[in-house]
Structure 1
Amino acid sequence: MNNSQEVQRALTLIRSVPLTPPEHKLLSCFVRDAVDPKAAALYVLQQASQGDTKDIEFELRHILTEWKQLVKRFTLPTKISTNTKLLVSIRDDNCCCITKQSREWWDVLGWTRTGPIRLVPDEVIAGLDDAAHASLRELLAAFLTEGHLRRLIRSLDLPSDDINQLKNTLTLQESVATLFINGQIKVEPERVADESADDSMETKGLYELTMVMPRPFPVLKSKKGRRLYANDNLIISTTDAKTMPLPDSFLLALRARFCNSLRCLQIEDEMQLGWPENTLRHKFQRICRRMIEPAVPLLRHSWLYLPRSFRILTYRLLLNVGVRIYGKQLAWVQRVPFGLYIKHGRGNIVSKGEAPALRLIEQYADIPAPKVIDVLTVENYTYLVMTRLPGVPLLEGLPRMSYPERTQLALDLRNCFSQFRRIPNPNSTAICNANGGPVFDYRLPVSSKTAGPFQSEEEFNRFLITQPRLKSAIHDRSHKIYFSHADLSPTNILVSAGKLSGLVDFACAGFYPEYWEYTKGVNGHFGPDTSFIDLLFETFEGSYEEELKAEQKLWEFVTPW
């Protein structure tokens, strides 16, 4: 249904209107997250066709304004009776339904206290029967369908006794409640009971926790200290389903449909506040960083004179300290003090080509990339120590970037790749890592993800094409071989204050055919949000589309990771 012709037409029409990125996403969510996306799309198309072409923007902006009004109603506070608060506290054992944590005994200031939160505030349907709000009702009916809207009205219009209120209430910690209200997390029931079915007598319900994009995802921990992740299962139970029923699965599922839109509103508010990197503290940090950077080569040179055993001991100590201060992000990558990162692990966990690649960049290019401090291997265990770059992954920053900022980012990336292409290949083989050895790439059709080196593009193509029928005409075309990052994902591009601040993770870097940077960047990025793909298209100015089609044909038979 999401891929119907009407849905695609509506989404294309939305993209054609000059809005901000969050507004485009917000209107797209109205279509994609609807109970019946085709019906929501037809509503958008019908409203847009009421006037001439000049009125399309006006009509869509009108839909956007009203949709914002409806979505914001989910954030309005609702008064909950004292008796309901008592009953929901007893039902949920005074614990947060998501983390299962209760208020800590030492918390005299109430930082960890729990409280009741409405799933769907009564204000969502307030005034919808008035003539003045007829368009709001029509919009909500288009999103929910008329049947679901009527069921919602019946659910919220029930007598305000404690049992009915309990069905629309959860116990959450204050910090978790903020995430829930803003749409950063959603709780979806395993199944939604029909209105005719009586699920009010169930004593246990199974639910799924979902983190709503974009990142950063909130860090939630269970009562036992385990971190909660997206798609984790939750159980909510009651000891007496008759007097203390579980939350209504219909209301939970309905709220979940609004979470993406709620998140868009939050991002829109954050954009209006401006980038946090523009604060005085961040500006001071940038000044300090610029003062220290010129001294890095001298400090590195001096450090490498110290005994090897002492350096290894220092790196192990820094890893332990880094885990305590910054937490453990990945098993093989750790942020440590003094503005450093350490990649470490046995065997080939640390790519043999990464350090040589970073040294080539430092020697021949002027782009923001980590500088290698040291590489040591002891008993088949490697430590790669490098400088840390400022900023956040593009995966977190891109949704908050305006279209002019995205255009500038594409230009900055294009400049980086232009400099990459001027880096000479010091090796005798054509397609290889920076050291002349085998290339390491998740795209390669072998379990080790390592192959080569290859003497020519033709030899490389013979390796990639696992079946003769997968060969395309483009594979007979000769391409230039350039130095490439080869893992251009939104987690490996850093931005600060909406600007490029660094490229990281050069584990796959080496010399590849000129199209590889683009096709590998597209590799693995699917789904409705095409922001990153659009950025890559603009960066490479629409080149290599034929090569991309040929690669996608190969991906159908060999997974791209």
Structure 2
Amino acid sequence: MQAIIQEDQDVQKALSMIASLTLTPPEHRLLSCFVQDAVDPKAAALYVLQRASRNGKDLIRMETELYNLLEDWKRLVERCISGDEVVTCSTRRWILLHHEVVETMVGYLWLNLPISVRIIPTDVIAGLETPSGASLREILAVFVTMGELRQLSNWLNVPSDDLSQLRNTWTLAGTAAVAFRTGRIQILPDWISGKSANGLENSTCKYMLSYGLVRPFVGIENNEGKIVRSLEVVSISTKDPEGLPLPSAFLFGIHARFCNSLRWLQVQDQMQRGWPGSAFWHSCKTTFRKVINYTIPMFRHLWLYFPRWSRALTYRLLLKVGNKMYGRTLNWVQRVPFGLYIKHGPGKFVPSGEGPALGLVERYTNVAAPRLIDLLTTESETYLVMTRVPGTPLEEAIQSFSYAERSQLAADIRSYVSQFRQIPNPNSAAICSADGGPAFDYRLGDPAGPFHSEEAFNKHVIFRSSLRSAIHDHHHEIFFSHADFSPTNILVERGKLSGIVDFGCAGFYPEYWEYTKGIYGHFGLETAWLDTLSDAFSGLYKDELAAEKLLWENGNTF
């Protein structure tokens, strides 16, 4: 399906036409989903092109027609959000009489205070046969095809006391029910079993659960209290396939096609409400943090006078308290009281260059980054103690950024990079970690180097001569780099950059490395981060990126 979307000229023309409209980011994505998530993307694309040319080639009329299509699509998508009380009393009684079977049916998934929800609400097709609903019927027929629309109508028009109602019903725990209704989770049929979505399911069916494309993702727990990962196989079963049949795979498939649109509609609503919290209190907190940052050098100077054993004991105590207060962050990173984070563990979990990198950033830049408090190594463990940088990971918020906010974010990242490049290299090696040791970077696999020239570095990363590109013969300046620009490490508050964290890979690298490493591992349909990063680097290093991609595709790093 992705090949059709990427290679079909009509699909690309329709998507380009949508991108040219003056819309918000979520509205662009919402209307694009009408094409990309359709049963037949080419047919949906041709419909968009036909709607655009309905009133001739006048640009204003073309845009007006597509705006009308967007509003119709929003109205249709809104119909897919079902409420809590969606199952009739008779159907509820049937489910409750078979509660033991319901538990088995939910099985692997979630069961606490179960809620029975419709997979596809009957509101989706309500009134489509009337003149006022004609436009919605038209676009629904294009989105799911006329054949599937007729089949969907048959499913949703069954009497309320018909046993088939159960095949449009799913019993979930409260949190999972909300996530399913709002499109945060998709149940994808056919990927595992390969069976037709139209047949009667057996006593057990396997599906693939997906959190979709739109962040932030919701963390859903199974009945064992473990988080269900995206694209994980889930089982749904029943002891009585005829008396209590499983939900319809066909209806799951229809629901999955609407999920991304549902999420983008919510993002649009959130953008209209504005960023949560008071701008005044945010300004006050920012000022307070600046005052606190001025006191850090003095506190650090005094704290390091304490004996090593007492500091190590304090850190172990803080780790236990932090785990109880904030929960486990990562196995080797823990938030602790007093506005601190502690990275801890054997040496491989705390790169030797991270502490020195934080010191260089604090000394030579105004970048909002963690301030190093202590780097303490004992016989069994290393403790890297640093201040907490406020904010939310960009990957959870960038979808809610306006285009203006994205442009400002790119400018702020550009400023950070410019400041990084002013940091002098105190080491004899040219390409190395901040302390002069081997470069620690996931892109390289194991720690490598240090290297005394770019040529020596290239010999290491180019593992086959056939993969060498002409750009590798060009000279590049060597600069200090964070080397792990990622939406998880860039923090934001109220639509603005608030800081950058995780300097474990930081060191001195060729000038293009900051950009290409930021792209590394971040491909897909959602390009908000890729576009922002390209803007931050003013569109430079395209040849270097192409050369790096060739190495990524043929290598086995990461």
Q: Offset at 1:516?
A: 0.9
> 1:198–1:526: structure 2 CA closer, same or farther, 3 Å change rule?
same
| 2: CA distance, partners of 1:377 / 1:277 | 40
Instruction: State how 1:114-513 maps to structure 2 within 5 Å.
Output: 114-189=114-189, 190-191=192-193, 194=196, 197-199=199-201, 202-278=202-278, 282-444=282-444, 447-448=445-446, 450-513=447-510
CA RMSD of aligned residues (A): 2.0
| 2: CA distance, partners of 1:543 / 1:379 | 46
Q: Which residue of structure 1 lines up, in the alignment, with residue 14 of structure 2?
A: 10
Match of 1:531 among 525, 528, 534: 528
| 2: CA distance, partners of 1:431 / 1:267 | 42
| 2: CA distance, partners of 1:473 / 1:102 | 58
1:62 maps to amino acid: N
Match of 1:546 among 532, 543, 548: 543
**2:377 partner SS:** strand
Q: Offset at 1:277?
A: 4.3
> 1:72–1:513: structure 2 CA closer, same or farther, 3 Å change rule?
same
| 2: CA distance, partners of 1:179 / 1:284 | 35
TM-score, normalisation: structure 1: 0.93
**For structure 1, which segment, 12-21 or 185-194, has the greater mean C-alpha deviation from structure 2 after superposition?**
185-194
Match of 1:70 among 73, 76, 83: 76
> 1:262–1:46: structure 2 CA closer, same or farther, 3 Å change rule?
same
| 2: CA distance, partners of 1:79 / 1:438 | 60
Q: Offset at 1:218?
A: 2.3
**1:2 partner SS:** helix
Q: Offset at 1:257?
A: 1.1
Q: Which residue of structure 2 lines up, in the alignment, with residue 97 of structure 1?
A: 106
**2:349 partner SS:** coil
1:16 maps to amino acid: S
> 1:389–1:277: structure 2 CA closer, same or farther, 3 Å change rule?
farther
Q: Offset at 1:46?
A: 1.8
1:89 maps to amino acid: L
2:472 maps to amino acid: H
Q: Offset at 1:519?
A: 1.1
Contact residue 277 and residue 283 of structure 1 kept, 8 A: no
Contact residue 395 and residue 491 of structure 1 kept, 8 A: yes
1:429 maps to amino acid: A
Contact residue 101 and residue 223 of structure 1 kept, 8 A: yes
List per-residue Cα deviations over 1:155-190 (Å, max 9, x = no partner). 112233241211111112223222211111222334
| 1: CA distance, partners of 2:236 / 2:545 | 47
**2:330 partner SS:** coil
**1:227 partner SS:** coil
**2:247 partner SS:** coil
Q: Offset at 1:331?
A: 1.2
Q: Which consecutive residues of structure 2, in runs of 5 or more, have no partner in the other structure?
A: none
Match of 1:57 among 58, 63, 67: 63
2:15 maps to amino acid: L
> 1:191–1:272: structure 2 CA closer, same or farther, 3 Å change rule?
farther
List per-residue Cα deviations over 1:287-323 (Å, max 9, x = no partner). 4323322111111111111111111111111112222
| 2: CA distance, partners of 1:195 / 1:175 | 27
Q: Offset at 1:234?
A: 2.7
2:495 maps to amino acid: G
Q: Offset at 1:148?
A: 1.2
1:205 maps to amino acid: C
2:537 maps to amino acid: F
Q: Offset at 1:348?
A: 1.8
Q: Offset at 1:196?
A: 6.4
| 2: CA distance, partners of 1:412 / 1:505 | 18
1:54 maps to amino acid: I
Q: Offset at 1:454?
A: 1.0
| 1: CA distance, partners of 2:183 / 2:108 | 17
| 2: CA distance, partners of 1:295 / 1:498 | 28
Q: Offset at 1:261?
A: 0.7
| 1: CA distance, partners of 2:220 / 2:273 | 26
Contact residue 75 and residue 181 of structure 1 kept, 8 A: yes
TM-score, normalisation: structure 2: 0.93
Q: Which consecutive residues of structure 1, in runs of 5 or more, have no partner in the other structure?
A: 104-112
| Alignment coverage as a number of residue pairs | 547
| 2: CA distance, partners of 1:37 / 1:196 | 21
Contact residue 11 and residue 35 of structure 2 kept, 8 A: yes
Contact residue 216 and residue 397 of structure 2 kept, 8 A: no
Contact residue 345 and residue 381 of structure 1 kept, 8 A: yes
| 1: CA distance, partners of 2:546 / 2:232 | 36
Contact residue 198 and residue 250 of structure 2 kept, 8 A: no
Contact residue 515 and residue 544 of structure 1 kept, 8 A: yes
Contact residue 86 and residue 117 of structure 2 kept, 8 A: no
**1:495 partner SS:** strand
2:530 maps to amino acid: I
1:140 maps to amino acid: L
